Amino acid sequence: MKKKLLFIMLTFVLSSCFSSASAVNYTKNKISKADIVVANALKYKGVKYKYGGTTRKGMDCSGVVFVSFGEENIALPRSSRYMAKEGKKIALAKVKKGDLLFFKISRRSNQINHVGLVTEIKNGQIFFIHATTSRGVIVSSMSEKYWKNTFVKASNVL
């Protein structure tokens, strides 16, 4: 009798583990809002730089972010300076895909004037998409000295 009861309990426990495993797989395959926004941004990789631009003919850094979020009906201000006032400030070590990175890259201004969108974190390295005057819309790494030195803050807006 004890063996039968033990067998029934073991069967029940194992079957419940299998059903929860399939639920976990479903969750892993679910596409997040951040995934969609990043995919939107990556469509513009290679577009040339144009100050104030928001089309495939040319984009600036805030234009890439503005359009990528806008395609998902997420309203953000148009300029990096005002985008930096949105969302919740987070530590660089806590950023995730879809978060925003803000920089001061102009020597003439003491205000935030550049933004990038985190595309992935791989082997502890943070990659982000943005637009540069010389290379257009590109993906860069926060491990590059220039970006480390000009970084101001990170925000989560999703």
Q: Which of 76, 129, 130, 147 is catalytic?
A: 130
Lateral strand order in the sheet of 136-141: 88-90, 151-156, 100-103, 114-122, 125-132, 136-141
Catalytic: 81?
no
Q: What is the pLDDT of residue 29?
A: 64
Q: What is the pLDDT of residues 7-48, one digit of tens each?
A: 333 333 333 333 333 333 334 568 999 999 999 999 999 999
- The 10 Å Cβ neighbour count of residue 42 is 16
Q: What is the pLDDT of residues 85-131, one digit of tens each?
A: 999 999 999 999 999 999 999 877 789 999 999 999 999 999 999 99
Q: What is the pLDDT of residue 9?
A: 39
Handedness of CA 87, 76, 33, 101 (dihedral sign): negative
Q: What is the pTM of this model?
A: 0.80
- The 10 Å Cβ neighbour count of residue 114 is 23
Catalytic: 61?
yes
Q: Which of 47, 59, 61, 101 is catalytic?
A: 61
CATH entry 3.90.1720.10 includes domain 31-156:
yes
Catalytic: 114?
yes
Q: Which of 95, 114, 151, 157 is catalytic?
A: 114
